[in-house]
Structure 1
């Protein structure tokens, strides 16, 4: 059965970035989080493709976007990767949706390339060093890295799931797409230690006047990455919405997530044009 998606490849800084796009209209770019793969957004893209051009991709060193040699993640390089895909599609600007680590990349886009951002939606970007109990979260993350060193990546990923994620095991919630073993190794070797601690200077986003919306998953309850969105809201003074699902609710419960996503886009448009 035809999906309507088209595969594209653009080479940026020695990596062939694989991306998938469909639809017509304004561009929405979906930035993957720590799991790195774009397929988690395919259902949402299909539901939006009657009114938007939608694109997602496998991040550098993940899934189809293999690098010649895997290296420690360079966040600004990953931002440039996103912009290379937007340019390859012939757009000057995009709406950006980023979840988790993808939300951090979206924040960085808004800080350093505000002219490229039509709207930014960050879904549970884990800026946990803004929290009062950040020391406890740091200890938990570092303990997972210890598990990685002592027992390997699968054990570390399980420890992270058990101690740092909420909502995935709720009754009736479909499972998220599994993370390929090679991607898990790359994430736990080259990414998580770098993205666990720095917080982008959100004040710069305010200075740039960028249109921003924040999303907090209802199934995430009071877990650390959900509470981080409230701290982001205080700094940014922007719209924040409680939305269905957990940290990957846009994939696992897409049909209930979709109306909130469309509402967020509508509200951001109204605010941008001075309508309440």
Structure 2
């Protein structure tokens, strides 16, 4: 594994930890959940053979600190953080951007607000449930999660959240066992430390976000919507599928499920390379 160059970027209300590898056009990787920059460790080196790969911990996560630890979190602010990264690391040319899960929501907003800074965006399972026809049902789920968090604590709230995300799945058939790599197990302690912040502030702030669909349609030639092959039938699959149909674009399928980046890094990274090489082309 290549040792990255590490830096800190001061933004409004926070200080961001970021890491840079490789050389070439900038590829900004925006993590989701509680993954942080470390969630890209298994694909960053390979991508760095073609790109200057930048990863970072979103504000409030891991090594990126908030000035006010109790501050509420908004997609607009996180997208501005990503924009500041582009301004720092690629001031003279637009960049390629990948976002996973909540990071995919950040990437969508970045595209709609600063399209001149983005050459191509790949988003993997952005949980923008507000685009769905049954959005009120999912708002009710988020309210139950927050109520459970306040009255019963973190793990009961996580159980409510997980059940809501899986409820559309077919749970009658056998499921393949997923074994996480040792690197993911090493990150478990940090993941647990970030969970209260993620469930309490990122989840409600991000899953209530409604993207500007008209704006996305105008920019659809530089947007790739992707889902996990194993995510069909799950809630987190549906928003990207709905957007692809609404925008008239092809929905891409990546290996694994919502966490395919962790469970299938080599295949995932190869598909990312193809997506960023295929500017203006139809992907298979």
TM-fit CA distance, 1:186: 1.6
TM-fit CA distance, 1:87: 2.1
For 2:61, the equivalent position in structure 1 comes to 62
2:180 to 162, 174, 180: 174
User: For residues 41 and 106 of structure 1, what CA distance do their matches in structure 2 show?
Assistant: 16
Per-residue deviation, residues 148-198 of structure 1 (Å, max 9, x unmatched): 11211233123323442579x741342654353442222222222121222
1:31 counterpart = 2:30: yes
Asked whether the equivalents of residues 180 and 262 of structure 2 are also in contact (C-alpha less than 8 Å), the reply is no
2:240 to 216, 224, 229: 229
User: For residues 10 and 210 of structure 1, what CA distance do their matches in structure 2 show?
Assistant: 31
For 1:120, the equivalent position in structure 2 comes to 121
| Segment drifting more, 8-17 vs 235-244 | 235-244
TM-fit CA distance, 1:110: 1.0
| Segment drifting more, 53-62 vs 73-82 | 73-82
1:83 counterpart = 2:83: yes
Aligned positions of 1:122-137 closer than 5 A: 122-137=123-138
For 1:263, the equivalent position in structure 2 comes to 274
For structure 1, the residue ranges without an aligned partner over 5 or more in a row are none
Using a 3 Å threshold, how does the CA distance of structure 1 residues 65 and 243 change in structure 2: closer, same or farther? same
TM-fit CA distance, 1:130: 2.3
Give the total of aligned pairs: 271
TM-fit CA distance, 1:125: 0.6
| Segment drifting more, 8-17 vs 175-184 | 175-184
Using a 3 Å threshold, how does the CA distance of structure 1 residues 219 and 209 change in structure 2: closer, same or farther? closer
Per-residue deviation, residues 83-117 of structure 1 (Å, max 9, x unmatched): 22222224432111011111111111111100011
Asked whether the equivalents of residues 24 and 49 of structure 1 are also in contact (C-alpha less than 8 Å), the reply is yes
User: For residues 34 and 246 of structure 1, what CA distance do their matches in structure 2 show?
Assistant: 14
For 1:145, the equivalent position in structure 2 comes to 146
For 2:43, the equivalent position in structure 1 comes to 44
TM-fit CA distance, 1:28: 0.9
1:74 counterpart = 2:74: yes
TM-fit CA distance, 1:208: 4.2
Per-residue deviation, residues 112-142 of structure 1 (Å, max 9, x unmatched): 1000111011100112222233333333332
After TM superposition, what 4+ stretches of structure 1 lie above 4 angstroms from structure 2? Answer: none
Give the TM-score normalised by structure 1. Answer: 0.89
SS in 2 for 1:7: strand
For 2:156, the equivalent position in structure 1 comes to 155
User: For residues 209 and 131 of structure 1, what CA distance do their matches in structure 2 show?
Assistant: 19
1:201 counterpart = 2:212: yes
SS in 1 for 2:66: coil
SS in 2 for 1:118: strand
For structure 2, the residue ranges without an aligned partner over 5 or more in a row are none
User: For residues 157 and 176 of structure 2, what CA distance do their matches in structure 1 show?
Assistant: 21
User: For residues 42 and 62 of structure 2, what CA distance do their matches in structure 1 show?
Assistant: 18
User: For residues 16 and 8 of structure 1, what CA distance do their matches in structure 2 show?
Assistant: 10
Per-residue deviation, residues 7-53 of structure 1 (Å, max 9, x unmatched): 11111114211001101111111111232511101111112111111
Give the TM-score normalised by structure 2. Answer: 0.86
For 1:214, the equivalent position in structure 2 comes to 225
